[in-house]
Amino acid sequence: MATQLPSQAPKQAPKQPKVGMVSLGCPKALVDSERILTRLRADGYAMSPDYAGADVVLVNTCGFLDSAKEESLAAIGEAIAENGRVIVTGCMGNEAEAIRAKFPAVLAVTGAHQYEAVVEAVHEAAPPGQGPYVDLIPQTDIKLTPRHYSYLKISEGCNHACSFCIIPQLRGKLVSRRIDAVMREAEKLVASGTRELLVISQDTSAYGVDTRHEPREWHGQQVRAHMTDLARELGQLRTPEGAPPWVRLHYVYPYPHVDAVIPLMAEGLLTPYLDIPFQHASPKILKAMKRPANEAKVLERLAQWRDICPDITIRSSFVVGFPGETEDDFAYLLDWLGEAQLDRVGAFRFEPVAGAAANDLAGAVPEAVKEERYARLMAVTESIGQAKLEAKVGRSLPVIIDEVGEPDEDGDIGATGRSQADAPEIDGNVFLRNVPESLKAGDMVAVRIEQADAHDLFGYISDI
């Protein structure tokens, strides 16, 4: 996913240097981009929505997969061709020599979440303007997402040693943010218009492990840096209108304490949605991946979660074609998925990543077999997903509006939104017909569902 600056340029003072940004990769990288731009804005820089108007361009790269690296290198090349003054940061920053060898004109290269180094590089490339400025520091941080939803990053790095992953090499070991700092940011976001908080990290379930779940004072009470405490406190937030924001948990490993957040969903304090990267189900493959391998226990817990919170949505991702994966292993995965009945599923064909231990494993799966297994898995999971969506036809669901269209030739206005089962960018949509002119992005409405397909829902605003 590539994100560029919005076209609404902030108010700028004369002779302010301008910075452009191309942000690639995951939401965690997007948060890094927002923090960098917020700091630069406070230092006297204006933001440029295009290459032509920028004194320097930042490219925040992704280096998780070779295909992502290719996309990052292409973005660097485009920025150099269009502007010529480019600073590279992000996950590919640890390959500075390779970047400089391909693009000698790059001004500087820094690593992931090295905010100070990026800011220093920008200062050197385009020194901040001199003199007093008015309205220079924004009341809220710069956001690269729509006003009504925000990513809330609670930690950096990861303590796992998954054989297919190099995240610990790119971003280091787990470093959790203080819980009072996280809550202050969340409270500020909600006060400024955020209606949906998306909690992200490399491992949300491990939040606070590195600090021994150190407690901090928050609104007169001691609160631990722990996923369940954080979830409970986020569930107490209210918008200026007095409504609870949606709080959506991503990158949740199924540790035992995850069970404790399900009742919070049933109580309405958390959005009934969990993003859990299972990756596979075959015990042999999970062992080779160096991941937890208690798939039977997971099925029991899924059933228990659904008993407590029937509307819970489980999203996950899986890797097909991992080295050593046999047809029996893949059939085991398909059978497991049939029992698990996950709501949303993404799949990836195994791709060797430079530096990953899995590259040295025997039993490489041919590309044609990967493609065939990927197609079979997606067919199974789409069938499950469509059945779950069709079961919602006739129900009235809460929906957050993302976009309102223009009137058509009959004067009908359509809109696009999401239910609580849909995270932005990765899940489905709810398409609305004949909405009122007063409807706007960020509004939450009740929608009567009248149709479903494999990925999306269709309906109209209803009264509950």
Residues 348 and 444 in one domain: no
How far, rounded to the nearest angstrom, does the alpha carbon of residue 296 sit from its chain's CA centroid? 28
> What pLDDT digit, counting tens, does each position of 247-261 carry?
999 999 999 999 999
Of 390, 408, 436, the domain-final residue: 390
Question: Which range marks the domain in which residue 433 is found?
Answer: 396-461
> What pLDDT digit, counting tens, does each position of 393-402 carry?
999 999 999 9
Residues 290 and 340 in one domain: yes
Of 332, 367, 390, the domain-final residue: 390
Lowest-pLDDT range of 134-138, 207-211, 250-254, 373-377: 134-138
Residues 238 and 337 in one domain: yes
Residues 308 and 454 in one domain: no
Residues 309 and 404 in one domain: no
In a domain, 79, yes or no: yes
Question: What average pLDDT does the structure give for the chain?
Answer: 90
Per-residue pLDDT band for 368 (boundaries 50, 70, 90) equals: very high
Number of domains composing the chain: 3
Of 358, 374, 390, the domain-final residue: 390
Residues 102 and 156 in one domain: no
Residues 117 and 230 in one domain: no
Per-residue pLDDT band for 77 (boundaries 50, 70, 90) equals: very high
In Å, how far are 194, 338, 420, 428 from 389, measured between CA atoms?
27, 16, 13, 10
Residues 376 and 403 in one domain: no
Residues 42 and 160 in one domain: no
Residue 441: its pLDDT value, please?
A: 95
Burial of 97 (0-12, 13-18, 19+ CB in 10 A): exposed
Q: Are 389 and 395 in contact (CB under 8 A)?
A: no
Residues 43 and 59 in one domain: yes
* Element at 357 (helix H, strand E): none
In a domain, 26, yes or no: yes
Q: Is the pLDDT of residue 195 over 70?
A: yes
Strand residues in 25-159 grouped as ranges (E) = 46-47, 56-61, 86-90, 108-109, 149-153, 155-156
Residues 366 and 419 in one domain: no
In a domain, 382, yes or no: yes
Q: Which residues contact 241 (CB under 8 A, 6 or more apart)?
A: none
In a domain, 139, yes or no: no
Q: Residue 23: which CATH number?
A: 3.40.50.12160
> What pLDDT digit, counting tens, does each position of 324-357 carry?
999 999 999 999 999 999 999 999 999 888 888 8
Residues 408 and 299 in one domain: no
| φ, ψ at 269 (rounded to 5°) | -80, -25
